[in-house]
Amino acid sequence: MDIQNLSKSFGSVKALDSVSFSTPTDATVAVIGHNGSGKTTLLEIIMGIQQPSEGKIDLSAELSSAPLKEKIGVVLQKNNFYESATALELLRLFSTYYSGPVLPIDDLVDLLDMRPFINKRYGALSGGMQQKVNLALAFLNDPAVVVLDEPTTGLDPLARLDFWTTLRDLCRGRLVLVSSHYMSEVQENCTHLVHLDRGKLRYAGQIDSLLEQTGAPDLNSLYIRIAQESRSAHASRAAQD
């Protein structure tokens, strides 16, 4: 994926400011930053939900030959699914949304260990179970690119571990973009990092390279240090204004 000079403004507010970076097509990329940094805006532009004010995105040559929705899978932090529908009914419904072939529902059900609750209503499922359904829906179209917005928020530690274990099995050979506030999860499960700060790109590249360059013991301590520095600098500029 290649992003060039991507900007997005909402009135006088610039949510993204000339963001440029590239990622391999088979990487797991964490998009991090404090609330208001531009993470969600970036992901929504990649998903096609919003259009950039300037710049462009080239997801890959593989995606250029098909409508975006046919080759991208999405797991949002909040969904507006029919909560009275069963997991199986949702899978069958979503399978009709694509013009091309979809993965066999039975294979996804078995891969995600959904048999025990496949006929239960989505709204009655636990957070971990719902997230398995969300993953199955995202992978129905065998996507080349997967976007996950805060996928483990609200899950207990065991459900979060289960989620990442399942995701690693599903995502081999795909580009995965995931926003998260859990730096330990990012360091353990992602290969690359995109760090946004008030709409500007702070870093894009391999996580291991960033830790080596900075000498930080782990990503969590580095993120806290950078966030504190950014907050102090912003407060200083505000005071001068």
Domains and CATH numbers, the chain: 1-63+176-241 (3.40.50.300)
CB-based burial label for 35 (10 Å; 0-12, 13-18, 19+): exposed
**Residues of the chain below pLDDT 50:** none
Report the C-alpha gap between 211 and 208 in whole angstroms.
5
What H or E segment, with its residue span, contains residue 90? helix 87-94
What H or E segment, with its residue span, contains residue 106? helix 105-111
pLDDT in tens, 155-191: 888 988 988 998 888 888 889 999 998 999 999 999 9
pLDDT in tens, 120-151: 999 999 988 999 999 999 999 999 899 999 88
pLDDT of residue 60: 65
In angstroms, how far is the first alpha carbon of the chain from the final one?
A: 38
Residues whose CB is less than 8 angstroms from the CB of residue 39 and which lie 6 or more positions away in sequence, other chains included: 31, 32, 33, 179, 196
pLDDT of residue 15: 95
pLDDT of residue 76: 84
pLDDT of residue 204: 96
CA atoms lying within 13 Å on the CB side of residue 122 = 20
